[in-house]
Amino acid sequence: MNKIKYLLFVMLFVVMLSACGSKELTINFVTGTSEQIETITVKSGKKLTNLPTPQTREGYTFDGWFLDREFKTKYTNQALKKDTTLYAKWVIKTFKVTFKDGDQVLKTETVEYGKSAQAPTVTPKEGYTFYGWDKNFDNVKSDLVVNAVWNVKKLLVTFITEDNWVIAYVEVEYGKDATPPTPPTRDGYEFDHWEGDYTNVTSDVTIKAVYKKLTYEVRFFVDGVQVGETQLVKYGEAAQAPANPTKEGYTFVGWDKEFSNVTGNLNINAVWEPIKFTVKFVDEDDTVLLEVEVEYGKDATPP
């Protein structure tokens, strides 16, 4: 009798064990995205094979299925004995952003997908203005090399006259030479030079035109003979007349040209006026018969 009971117990245990081994488990998948993966079933104690792979997620890398929301325990194809939910773990992608100034690396930074890099502070360059960077690094989605962009400083060279009127404004790059304008003409003057340095310009600068007065030759003549040395007289200035000449029978009345404001070469001649005398013809009673004016050295004609 006991033997029969034992056999029945063994058979019941086998049936129960068989029933347990064939129990189907429900496996749910949480992708962490809008994608829905269908629930699958698997027999209890069996391992999952050919686990589904979720669709790619922009900016992330799939890192496997985990048994908990906190992603502490990774599912590694171990046999399951109960209904299970598997959670997809995503790791955000990172990229290298390198900031350069010419050949010099200023900074290299690791930046998560979609995030912004932080630009370094650039060292000022003499003669240049920092313009910015050649690429946008606010929404990083790939490795980037970002280069500093510099603009050559533009400086202003102002050319003026001696009385401070502007002749020209000339824009020139830092360290370069300005090209001066054609200086304006001035009556009685000739251009001499520019006052100030407009080569290798490193700051705004004002350059003044400097002129010198033209010089003219002035000669004085008396009866065709030059008196004294030739005078060199600057424009607008006065020549110095020699001493008044004398001439028998004549009165010196001046010079034939004005020379107080010289504006050109001059030959100046003495002007003479003959001395005149009055000759009276009278009779025995001193009655004036004729009165005539006669130049020095000339004959009077009697009545």
Rounded-to-integer distance, Cα 100 and Cα 106, Å: 5
Q: What is the pLDDT of residue 296?
A: 81
Rounded-to-integer distance, Cα 126 and Cα 263, Å: 51
Contacts of 8 by beta carbon, 8 Å cutoff, 6+ apart: none
Helices (H), the chain: 2-21
Q: What domains are defined for the chain?
A: 2-92 (2.60.40.4270), 94-152 (2.60.40.4270), 154-213 (2.60.40.4270), 216-303 (2.60.40.4270)
Which tokens is 295 given?
């130049």
pLDDT class of 16 with cuts at 50, 70, 90: very low
With 0-12 / 13-18 / 19 or more C-beta atoms within 10 angstroms meaning exposed / middle / buried, residue 239 is: buried
Q: N- to C-terminal Cα distance for the chain?
A: 211
Collect contacts of 255-261 with beta carbons under 8 A, ≥24 apart: 255/220, 259/218, 259/233, 261/236, 261/237
Q: What is the pLDDT of residue 22?
A: 59
Question: How many residues would you count in the chain?
Answer: 303
Residue 17 has pLDDT above 60, yes or no: no
DSSP 8-state class, residue 258: -
Q: Could you read off the pLDDT of 209-238 as tens digits, one per residue?
A: 999 999 999 999 999 999 999 999 999 999
Q: Could you read off the pLDDT of 245-286 as tens digits, one per residue?
A: 999 999 999 999 999 999 999 999 999 999 888 887 777 877
Q: What is the pLDDT of residue 301?
A: 82
Q: What is the pLDDT of residue 278?
A: 86
Residue 10 has pLDDT above 60, yes or no: no
